[in-house]
């Protein structure tokens, strides 16, 4: 018996925070004092080693957090969807690059506002800790994915996570990112991702309506594959 909803995915969907009472203080902070900023597809939101003076919250679209290795290799560390907060750093500068996967809108608040808030309000401080810990949990799942899983297992995991994150009704998932993005997230090549998707379709596990729309036809089989 597994949980009804995978909590392990790359998206927390903090849009509507779970805890009751006063609601999410951080989300409120963004809502009240956040400056909305639009980014075009593939635009850089912040770059590696740039000063980390702001925290960000996705309003619309999707964002990728990634790093470029010396040669061309790129690793996407995480995707962020509406409601997700990202860009908060321990040190003074960003350790990764953030880019718009699609046209998107994010809210910005000054880092100082955030830390100040957390210093004054114990609940906000806990929320900040919870945020970091959630991010850690996602990164840990990512490690599990990359460490010892086959291409099929990775793609199956990815599709199920995506379904959990932006799954519409009826098991249809809109994929907001390119095959290259998926490959760089899963530690595979686009060719392998493509081949695996095709194999899943051939096997009746999924249905492909173009490259960006997938129907999860056999969720149990996908779950079994995710190892």
Site residues (vs DNA, CB under 7 A)? 150-152, 178-180, 187-195, 197-198, 208, 210-212
Residues in 76-95 at the binding interface with a copy of itself, rule: CB under 8 A: 77, 88-90, 95
- d(CA 106, CA 140) in angstroms, rounded, equals 26
Residues 163/173, Cβ–Cβ less than 8 Å: yes
Q: Which does 135 bind (CB under 5 to 8 A by kind): a copy of itself, DNA, none?
A: a copy of itself
Could you give the maximum distance between any two Cα atoms of the chain, in Å? 57
Q: Which does 17 bind (CB under 5 to 8 A by kind): DNA, a copy of itself, none?
A: none
Residues in 168-187 at the binding interface with a copy of itself, rule: CB under 8 A: 184, 187
The reply to whether 137 sits near a copy of itself by the rule CB under 8 A is: yes
CA 169 to chain centre: 20
Residues 42/100, Cβ–Cβ less than 8 Å: yes
How far, in Å, are 74, 86, 95 from residue 66 at the CA level? 7, 12, 9
Residues that bind a copy of itself (CB under 8 A): 67, 69-71, 73-75, 77, 88-90, 95-96, 115, 118-120, 122, 125-126, 128-130, 132-137, 139-140, 142-144, 146-148, 184, 187, 227
């Amino acid at each position: 018996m597994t949980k009804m909803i995978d909590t392990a995915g790359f998206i927390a969907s903090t849009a509507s925070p779970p805890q009751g009472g006063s609601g999410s203080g951080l989300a409120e902070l963004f809502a009240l004092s956040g400056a909305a900023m639009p980014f075009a597809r593939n635009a850089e939101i912040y770059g590696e080693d740039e000063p980390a003076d702001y925290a960000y919250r996705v309003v619309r679209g999707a964002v990728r957090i990634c790093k470029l290795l010396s040669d061309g290799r790129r690793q996407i560390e995480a995707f962020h969807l509406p409601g997700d907060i990202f860009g908060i750093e321990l040190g003074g500068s960003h350790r990764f690059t953030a880019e718009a996967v699609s046209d998107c809108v994010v809210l910005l608040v000054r880092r100082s506002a955030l830390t100040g808030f957390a210093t004054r309000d114990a609940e906000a401080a806990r929320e900040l800790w919870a945020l970091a810990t959630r991010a850690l949990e996602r990164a840990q799942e990512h490690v599990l994915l990359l460490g010892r899983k086959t291409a099929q297992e990775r793609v199956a995991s990815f599709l199920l996570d995506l379904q959990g994150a932006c799954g519409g009704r009826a098991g249809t998932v809109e994929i907001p990112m390119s095959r290259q993005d998926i490959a760089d997230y899963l530690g595979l090549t686009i060719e392998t991702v493509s081949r695996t998707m095709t194999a899943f379709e051939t096997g009746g596990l999924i249905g492909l309506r173009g490259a960006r729309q997938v129907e999860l036809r056999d969720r149990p089989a996908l779950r079994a594959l995710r190892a």
